Structure 1
């Protein structure tokens, strides 16, 4: 395999993009990877002068995603049905976008990727074949060199294979074709396809056998390997304490925008984006149940409020808006405004000084490193400190201006969720499940005790463990499919997150049925039924302590259905 590096432009801001491209162009054999929706739709125009100055630089772009402004133009041109569409493989749109990209770039691209085609739920083969036919037409017209498929989870979810793509391209071209490349995530965190290649299987090997290039996205997982896992002090199991960061320079995970390549060529082209644009941070959650309420005493409430204000001053933000309390008042969050990052969310955790650290304490920070491409709030800063009795951690994240499905974990009203929403959730769960970690969300020892006690059935022996969010419910999912609250992630039974989401949704039966149908690949298996049993034991245990008691009857019904199919 022959490695090569390229500049990926997905996570480079518009102001920095041209400078980064000029730097990349100074190296021989340079490639730049971009897309019409990058830099809020400005990437092509920002790159055009750099490409004009450096004709030796090869350029790859994409077709599929639309910004709001592009969608209005496409709708006005009659190539999409309505201006709310944000992804399309309609052949008229593919032709229109490819020509528009050529005009914006000021030159013909060497390569155009069909961008995340797995988002097309209905009749994917027909849409791919039609898109390939348009791109073949553009190759023959001399408007591009070749085309490919850039995917985030299409191979992993078995939406298609390299062999199937080759077959569809042959049908589109009527014989030999110009499909020459695939793009997929490859890194030390998302290593499934690389591991398959080492064993002579998977899409990388299949592409090599056809002589295709392989462009690898998300190669460095936010360029944070040197600090993974977070450092620990030599004489303690707790994380090493950071000194307070300067107010104007809070700690922030460094974004990656490089891409690279193995020959055939895995050309790393910076992270292929998660199926929707990068999020901002959590919607307010007023109206939660008593589970989400201030501490039991006014003294504790005042202590947390004062600590939150101290954290705001240390991180250089102005806290504003209503207070949002976490489970039993153990966390406190508020909107905040940062002079550089704009609207943020400032969340404070507190614990007795001797109990600080561990999975819940470190979860958000470690999730920022482990899941850089998952649709979640981006971590901007972390600030730790200790007083005489308590330890505190403040986490500053970007603000997501999207409402959650419910103010409470239990979904009690039906939700209208689109096919695209479920596609994004499935992609998120697949990405999370692929991560290797020593964090534990659920233990077999707990399963052995809790399942018989709370369900009356024997505990299943879990054979397949996968990484999970660990707290997937309606109060942690937005209408834009952004997933919040990552402190508890870790290894759990396969299908755990899907089972938890369905269980928490039982009081909205139509939505629960839709969720079960959309996640059936995880739930309608022996592993999925075991995960459902474990989840029901967990929630029945919580109900025995006074949380969501109205869910108890539905949980017992789920238990019976899961055990009847064992």
Structure 2
């Protein structure tokens, strides 16, 4: 796979920062990595005009290091101690909050996409690194829930390689800080290059921080891909570059040989640092960036860069037409067919702007109108309110933009529909979901979510069972899994609702959770009056056929074994 190229500002000359940032805006994934101490503590202010003029440019900054001037100001503000000022580094929670205030003001943003704890291995105070990290993470969790940062991470030079911490210990500390496994620690940054290649070798063997982060659905940002520029300046670099990629410069060859490693289960490509040249190397990069709470970045952009540009342009135009200001990362839907992003609206406050596209003349299908019709059909069901719709058509494409209320709670399966982490779902959560499912099932509709013709074909092909004839149809959400449901029971993504076999939604919920046996058993127990009936067993069979069909196409293949077991159990 390929990697995502982003702009780093650590060694970028101050005179080149603005030009480099303006160039970064034109790349497929506008992304800049910075810190308060970069460019002689001027990086934030130099970037601010570009960031304010181009809200689609995403930004990651850091907290930890102190310049002498920042140290004096932080000491005067009472947010650090004398030893921290002398060290030039602090993880003090008060300093973390203070630094975020300054970063927001200096960058001219009301929200930072990612804040990294910067080289925490420098901590030498009594009490241990874990205690200091926990305090910093607690402060960052508060900032994330307040909406001032999208997520946080750990940026390290040798913390992983020297054994100061690992991904599992960071995950555990973040869980303790948040009081829940659904914390906002979602990114790590570490050096990866042709010199610092240990993380790559580990990942190829299914080990190390890249693999362990990817297994958790975290993003991995690779810093120093040119090893501080050293690789591009080596004697014979041009000759070596020509062997790697004929005609490429040394910098391009280094990046071309720098894949986005991940475990076989999931992949979170790195956002690579740039060495300071405002003319970014050519790249075939694809994005996979952190997402805001309530949004799940499960898919990649369209494979054709022209389609990606077309969608992002249409999304920006729709935001302008609706009078909304967009910010934060882009979140793509299946095969890049939809594009969502946080938006702020004068009347409705925090919102989510989702754009879908279809060839001109092919719009108006079930998915096109689903959100609009669901808003009328299910007024009492817990879902994001629909505030506005904007339709537009060009010679070749039609677009529909939907402005809905922003959901500030994370979904229960942020990595995608297949649940990969056991959950402790409360009785109150199940009661809320049960009530909403009963309301949905009782709602009359002529929309079709699951067709008999598909059942006749798919069930025998993928389960070996004869296809059941469905006479008991009820209204269903149609895509009911824990990537579409939040911890508070809010249900997302309504475009596919319609008639389906009775018990379809609960069957899907159960099938997608089969990789987490305890949670799956809890779901089955909660809906035993549905799933243990004849209709429920038929719904489970059809759900298994649906997901086995997906597995045959390369999606959700990790579920194939449990689904086969489910089909065998349905035989008994």
When normalised by structure 2's length, the TM-score is 0.48
TM-score (norm. length: structure 1): 0.49
